[in-house]
Chain A
Amino acid sequence: MERIIFYIFAAAIILFSLFSVTSTRILRAAIYLFLVLVSIAGLYFMLGYHFLGAVQLTVYAGGIVVLIIFSILLTEQIDSRMPAPKLGTMILSGAVAVIGATVSIFAITGHNFETTPETVNAGTVEKVGERLLSYGEGGYVLPFEVISVLLLAAMIGAIVIAKRPKSDEQTSE
C-alpha cells in the first residue's frame, strides 16, 4: 500500500514539474509548481518527517507560491502567453536533460547506500529545535544566524532594484 502511494506521489512530482517548465502560460506554471511542492510534502509525511512536511506546506506551498502568483499578477497580464521556444532549442535542451537524468539515475541506483536504523523519530519538533540552537557538534546555530544576514542582504538588494531614483520621480510627477 505504502509503495503504491509512493509511486503516485513520485509520478505526480515528475509530471507536474514537466508541466511547470514546459507551460507557456506563466500562471499555470506557477500552479503546477504548487502541485509539485504539495506532492513533495506528501513524501515527507510518508517518511515520518511531520515537521518538515508541515514546513514544506506552509512555507513553500503556502508562502512562496502565493508570492510568485502575486508578482505575476502585479507585473504581467495573466492571459499573456510566452513564445514557445524554437524546435532546435527544444531538442537540444531535451537531449541534455535526458542524458543528465540517465547518468544521475544510473549513478544513484548503482550505489550501495548504507542504512541506519535511527532515523525514525529524528524529525520531531523538540529535536529540530534543540539541534537548531545548539553550538556543539551537529548544532546549527551558526548557519541559523548567517541565514539572517543573508535575508537582510537579500532585502536590501530587493530595495535597490525596486527603488526609484529621485530624479525619475520628479519627471513623472
Chain B
Amino acid sequence: MELSTLLLMRQELALTAIILILLVSEIFLSKENKGVVVPLALGLMVLQTILGFIPIDYGNLFGGMFQNSELTHLMKNILNVAVLVLFLQSASWLRKDVLEQGRGTEFYLLILSTLLGMYFMISAGDFLMFFLGLELSSLPLAALAAFDIYKKQSAEAGIKFILSAAMASGVSLFGISMIYGVTGSLYFDEIAAAFSFGGLEVLALVFFFGGLAFKMSLVPFHFWTADVYEGSPIPVTSYLSVVSKGAAVFILTIILFTVMKSMQDVWRDVVYILAILTMTIGNLFALRQKNMKRFLAFSSIAQAGFLLLGIIAANQNGMAVVVYFVLIYVFSNLGAFGVVQAISLNTGKENIDDYEGLYRTNPKLSLVMLLSLFSLAGIPPVAGFFGKFFLFIAAAGEGYYWLVLIAVINVTIALYYYLLVVRAMFLRKNDNAIPLFKSDTLLRVGLVICVLGILVAGLYSPLYEYIFGLSAF
C-alpha cells in the first residue's frame, strides 16, 4: 500500500489533526490565554470545511473497510457546515459560562471526536467500522449532555442519554452479530450478496434498525429525547438534534439501500409503521409543549418521521431527497436553535410565552425565527417546502398514497404549532416583552449563514439535481 492512497481519507486525517492540535494547545496555553481556543477552533473548523469542498479521489481503503464516494463526501460536507455554524453560535455561550470554569477546549474536543465518529460511520465499508463510528459518535455526547454538570437537569440528561445509548448499542450489536452468523462476513458487499429472506435475518434487521432508530429518535425509541434536549446546554441540544440525527439518517439510508436491499420488502413495512407513529406522536406531543427546547425536540422527532418517507422510496430519488432534506433541516433547525440560544443567553428565558411581542423589540431575531419555523413547517417559498414536497413525491412514486396522505395531515398539524410560536412573536402584545439586546457577532454570522442556507437551498434548483446525480448506488 502506498502512503499516498491514505489521502482518500483526507477529511478524517485532517479532523484527527485538528483534535490533536486543540489537545496540545490546551496543555500549553497559559491560564490567562485559555480564551484563544474559541477563535482557534473556529479557524480550524473553517479550514476543515473549505478543505471539504476541494475535490478528492474516491475509492476503498483497508480492504474495503473504508469507502469514500462522492455521496459520502457530500454528506460529510453537510455535517462540516452544520458543525461550523454550531461553533459560531456556541462561541458566546462558551465565553460567558464555560471558559471561566476552565473547560472550553473539552467542548470542542468532544464535539469534534463525535464528528470524526460520524465520518467513519458514513464511510464504513463493514459493520465493525460502522459500530465503532456509532460508539465514537454517541459516547462523548453523554459527557456533552452533562456539560452543565452542576445543574441537576444536565446531569440527569447525561445519565439518561448514556443508559439509553448503551441499551441501543447493545441491541444493535446483537443484530450485527446475527448478521455475521448468517452471512459469515462483516463486509457490506459480501453481506449484500449473501443476505436473503429468513427468520433470523428479519430479527437481525429489526435489532440493527433499533440501534439507529434510537439515534434518530424514531417513535418507540424516542423517550430519552425530550428530557435530554431540555437538560443539555443549548449548543449540545442543537448538535444532538441536527448533526447527530443527520449522520444517523445518512448511514441508515446507505445501509438499507445497499446492504439490506434483498430485504427491502421487510424493512419497508417496518419503516412504514415507524413513519406513521413518529410523525403523529411527535406532532401530538409538540402541540402541548411550553418550553422552546422541548418544543423543538418533539418537532424534530416529527421531522425524522417525514424523512422516513424518503427512505421508504428506496431508489435514487429517495436517496437524493433524504440528503437534500437533511441539508435543509440543518439550516432550519440551527436557525431556530440559534435564536433560542441568543434569547436564553441574554435573558435566561426559554418558554414560548416569553416570546410574546418579540417582534416589536427584536425584529431581526424574530424574522430569523420566522424563516426557520416556516422552513420547518414547509411553507413555500422557503426551502422546507421543497424538501417536504420532494419527500412526498418520492413516496407517492412508489405507490405509498395512504402514507403520503397521513403525512400531509401531519404537516397541517405541524403548521398549527409552528404558527403558535409565530403568533406569539408577531401578533401578541406584551408589556414585559424581552427588551432589545445585541447578540454576539459570531452568533449573528451563524444566523446569517442559516438564513442564506434556507433561501439558497430552496430557490437554487440545480442543487437538488446535483445531489440527485450523486445519489446513484
Residues of A within 8 A of B (CB): 103-104, 106-108, 110-111, 113-114, 116, 135-143, 146-147, 149-150, 152-154, 156-161, 163, 165-168
Contacts of B147 in A (CB 8 A): 160
Cβ–Cβ contact A149 & B106, under 8 A = no
Bound: A146/B144 CA distance, A? 20
Contacts of B133 in A (CB 8 A): 146
Give B153 Cβ to nearest chain A Cβ, in Å.
15
Cβ–Cβ contact A166 & B181, under 8 A = no
B441, CB-defined interface residue at 8 Å: no
Bound: A146/B132 CA distance, A? 7
Asked, given contacts A156-B109, A163-B103, A168-B150, whether A150 binds B200 with beta carbons under 8 Å apart, the answer is no
Consensus secondary structure, chain A interface: helix
Cβ–Cβ contact B132 & A150, under 8 A = yes
Bound: A136/B60 CA distance, A? 11
B-side interface residues, number (CB < 8 Å)? 47
Contacts of B355 in A (CB 8 A): none
Contacts A143-B132, A154-B139 aside, 7 further interface pairs with beta carbons under 8 A come to A142-B65, A143-B65, A150-B117, A153-B109, A153-B113, A156-B143, A165-B102
B199, CB-defined interface residue at 8 Å: yes
Which residues from 106 to 120 on chain B have a C-beta closer than 8 Å to any C-beta of chain A?
A: 106, 109-110, 113-114, 116-117, 120
Cβ–Cβ contact B140 & A142, under 8 A = no
Give A111 Cβ to nearest chain B Cβ, in Å.
4
Contacts of B100 in A (CB 8 A): 165-167
Asked, given contacts A150-B132, A153-B113, A160-B103, whether A107 binds B158 with beta carbons under 8 Å apart, the answer is no
Bound: A160/B140 CA distance, A? 10
B16, CB-defined interface residue at 8 Å: yes
Which interface residue of A106, A114, A156, A167 has the most chain B CB atoms within 10 A?
Answer: A156
Count of chain A to chain B residue pairs whose CB atoms are closer than 8 Å in the complex: 112
Bound: A135/B8 CA distance, A? 14
Give B260 Cβ to nearest chain A Cβ, in Å.
17
Which interface residue of A103, A146, A158, A163 has the most chain B CB atoms within 10 A?
Answer: A146
Cβ–Cβ contact B65 & A149, under 8 A = no
Contacts of A138 in B (CB 8 A): 63
Bound: A116/B1 CA distance, A? 30
B116 to A, closest residue via Cβ: A149
Q: List 5 A-B contacts (CB under 8 A).
A: A107-B203, A108-B178, A113-B181, A152-B23, A157-B140
Asked, given contacts A107-B199, A143-B128, A166-B102, whether A161 binds B62 with beta carbons under 8 Å apart, the answer is no
Bound: A149/B113 CA distance, A? 8
Give A151 Cβ to nearest chain B Cβ, in Å.
10
Contacts of B120 in A (CB 8 A): 146
Cβ–Cβ contact B102 & A135, under 8 A = no
Cβ–Cβ contact B101 & A167, under 8 A = yes
Which interface residue of A107, A113, A157 has the most chain B CB atoms within 10 A?
Answer: A157
Which residues from 57 to 73 on chain B have a C-beta closer than 8 Å to any C-beta of chain A?
A: 61-66
Partner of B114, one of A142, A153, A163: A153
Contacts of B198 in A (CB 8 A): 111
Bound: A116/B185 CA distance, A? 13
Contacts of A161 in B (CB 8 A): 143, 146, 149, 158
Bound: A106/B178 CA distance, A? 13
Give B157 Cβ to nearest chain A Cβ, in Å.
12
Cβ–Cβ contact B64 & A137, under 8 A = yes
B109 to A, closest residue via Cβ: A156
Contacts of A156 in B (CB 8 A): 106, 109-110, 113, 140, 143
Contacts of A167 in B (CB 8 A): 100-101
Bound: A163/B107 CA distance, A? 13
Which interface residue of B1, B63, B106 has the most chain A CB atoms within 10 A?
Answer: B63
